[in-house]
Amino acid sequence: MGKKGDALRADVIDALQRADKPLSAYDILAELREFNPKMAPTTIYRALAALTETGRIHRLESLNAYLLCESDEHGHGHDAILSICDDCGSVEETTAPELIASMSKALGEGGFEATRHVVEIHGTCSDCGTGQTGS
């Protein structure tokens, strides 16, 4: 039958690593189908859920896409700031625990207890930016 979960998840990670940019679930599915044409969406989504839970990949909510986590600090509470270049599609991962903590604190004063931070900043990266490298 199909390969076991660990191998599957490794394949998903490989695909994301090769791409070096965000991939949609169906992009990944298309890649893995080259080796297993029968693979179903469910299979991919389960792998993505497992990898997201363990912090090995990030889900980009505003793009419906997935990205390999660059940090080694996997696991709980690893909420990164993801800066997305709308021009070239590149995504950078920034770790800013103080900022995340500031937000949690600000909301905490209102009685809100934060468990997951979705922080995705759209804009233009330095390579694509006007005035910096350009002109």
Partner DNA sequence: TTGCAATCTGTTATAGTGTAACATATCGAT
Partner DNA sequence: ATCGATATGTTACACTATAACAGATTGCAA
User: Cβ 56 to a second copy, closest distance in Å?
Assistant: 19
61 forms part of the interface with a second copy (CB under 8 A):
yes
Beta strand residue intervals within 35-106, DSSP E = 57-60, 65-68, 81-85, 91-94
User: Cβ 43 to a second copy, closest distance in Å?
Assistant: 22
Binding partner selected for residue 72 from a second copy, DNA, none, CB under the kind-specific 5 to 8 Å limit: none
For Cα atoms 72, 74, 108, give the angle at the middle one, nearest 5 degrees: 125
Nearer to a second copy, 5 or 64 (CB): 64
Residues in the chain: 135
Contact stretch for DNA (CB under 7 A) within 24-32, 67-75, 98-106, 123-131: 24-32
Binding partner selected for residue 112 from DNA, a second copy, none, CB under the kind-specific 5 to 8 Å limit: a second copy
111 forms part of the interface with a second copy (CB under 8 A):
yes
Binding site for a second copy (CB under 8 A): 61-62, 81, 83, 85-86, 92, 94, 96, 99, 102-104, 106-107, 110-127, 129, 132
